[in-house]
Structure 1
Amino acid sequence: MNLLFAFLLAAPTQLAFLTQPGQTGTGVCSPKVTVELEDAGGATAMAPAPVALTLTGPDAFFSAADCTGPIIDPNGGLIIPRGGSNASFYFLHPHVGPLPLTVSGDPYAAVTQSWTVVAAPGVAMGLTFLGIGSVSIKQSACSEALSYVFHDINGALVTAPRALTVIYSPADYVEFYSDASCRSRRLLSADLPAGSSGSQVYVRAGLIGAYTVRAASPGLEPSTVQVLISGGPQGCASAHALWPALALLPLLRPRRSR
């Protein structure tokens, strides 16, 4: 009976934070956060199978202590391995105020810590497109340079405190390039080194319409600009505009006489 009791006590029954809650700054990489499995008595326990963790609260999660490199998928990207007892991460958040940090993983109940994010002047916490609310270009033509810069909590221009990845969207409808002729390899993102003040990107699109172009770096406030695509020199119409006419084509075909 004592052996059975000891076995049951050692089996994991809950998640718990191994590190204490604290505070971090806007755009500042958080201290290390570690969550572990515990048994019914609160002692560290080993995972009998991998436990995929769900993370909520902060804007972005990282494995690296300086919040560089690939982000952690908050929906199961962080795993306590079989035979392991814990997993650790770091996070970024651009907004001032209280920040509940919640971790869960089936079949264990969620646990929450209360963090605080304070203003950190001089540290990049967002990016913004310079001097433009919208830009108009012809269908399939290359745009002017869309320049963006990093800013701190007060809106002052600052440089990147670490290497940052800027992701461009919507990639399904708008093409992104690094050159003014839009002939280089298409971009999905740009990797900027520490000390960078920003960058620029060129865009083009093949369908007439209005598109909200977004530049975002995980954990920082994103920026958007409206890109308006009008008809090219040949007066090409958009696929959406042509669809009603295309739908009528079967009705316009001459019928064969019997």
Structure 2
Amino acid sequence: MQILRTVEELRAWSRARRCDGGQGIALVPTMGALHEGHASLIRAAVEARPGRVAVSIFVNPTQFGPNEDFAKYPRTFKADCELAEREGATVIFAPSVEEMYPAGAATFIEVEGLSDRLDGKSRPGHFRGVATVVAKLLNAAEADLAFFGQKDAAQVAVLRRMVADLRLGTKTVVCPIVREVDGLALSSRNVYLSAEERKQALALSRAIRRVESLVAGGERLSIRLMEAARDVLAEEPALRMDYIELVDWETLWPVLIAAPGSLFAVAAWVGNTRLIDNTILQ
């Protein structure tokens, strides 16, 4: 497995693969600290484009706010490379900040009408940074497929809109949330949790399961679903609520009645760690 450091190297690799008469390129964008959730994305990419899978590892500074965890975000490059290789990735793209944002860089992508909803409302500027770096990665890899996890459902909505608006020609593939045995959604930030905080964090997945159960029983009113989720989260008084929302997954606008495909999403602070979870309702 190769480790590439520059856009020029990644683009040359991608074009060489295209010239050999095979299929296109699959990209799995990550910030590293890889876990089983990322592994599931890599496996899906390998199944779709065997021998043509690039995994990017780049902690993107522009998606972190001034009081967020950029400096301490977990960086486990050697272990990340081992996991990616084990799962069948072809190359790792691990650029420097200077490679992704050349001196004087002044171009950013703002997906208006989506970037200030859900996580974007809580983290101003976050989706501006995400959209910009993902566009750069898709352009560098010239990927026809890009793989993302459902856990970042609001991010997926923003990126789908960006790809469509800019006619990038990349299909976004969304893979299911991967959970621990006890239900906690896998996240690179879970390493921040103490043993007690990890127990508290399980309230998020319990709230999700409660909502799924209500919907399966016929409940569709947003106000009742959100109330039920709020009651579950209140069982852990140490949690600090960020949001509970039922939205249209395409627009991220709130909806009053849950329809098949609606996104039910929650976010909360557990200690100093902000965690998210969601479900796509049936």
Does TM, normalized by the shorter one, top 0.5? no
Structure with bigger strand share is: 1
Higher-Rg structure is 1
TM-score (norm 1): 0.29
Structure with bigger helix share is: 2
TM-score (norm 2): 0.27
